[in-house]
Structure 1
Amino acid sequence: MANKQKNPIPFLKKTWVSSIGVFLLSQIIFITCEATGWIPNYRDIGGTFIGRITETSIFKEWFTFYETPNFNLLTIFFGIFLVFGIIEAIKSVFSPRST
């Protein structure tokens, strides 16, 4: 019984693959929306909490990846999870494998 091997987690079900995949897919969608002009019709975010965040100087000067402030905010949000995904991927690659 002690020699029984654990079933390995399939590659696509690993958490780091999904976090990196979501970031890449969101960037493809954002770039496509910006290039074609098919930007979603969001409600006016002025005066709301999210609107105040996107109007700060950090988002106007540093994080200007896209013309749409909502895309910039979502890029930062997904970027945080991308960092955790990259850390998990590095841990996965360099961890000793059990036989």
Structure 2
Amino acid sequence: MKDLNSVLIEGDVKTVFTRKGKLPHALHLCSKGFDDGSETANSSALITVDLERLPQYSYAKVTKGSHVRIVGRLCARENGDMYVLAEHLELRAQRATAAA
């Protein structure tokens, strides 16, 4: 039953963590939605995603502002902090931003 702990999340990359200027090893993903089915009350969640188990080519071009879809599983650190361990990453086309 490997699929029992699978999660799919899609959102915009807010922060990319690197080690000594190398490729990213983790990121913060901001996933936005609406509270209580309302179209006006915006809700967002900041989720930590660990990229360590992915092949380098799949996340080498991920930057702040990238829109990604991630399949992974929930994990917990020793202190109880939850994160997503990525098993698959899709880099989506950049969303158009409204001109000011």
TM-score, normalised by the number of residues in structure 2: 0.22
Which of these two proteins has the greater Rg computed from alpha carbons?
1
Q: Which has the higher strand share?
A: 2
RCO (CA 8 Å, sep 6+): is it higher in 1 or 2? 1
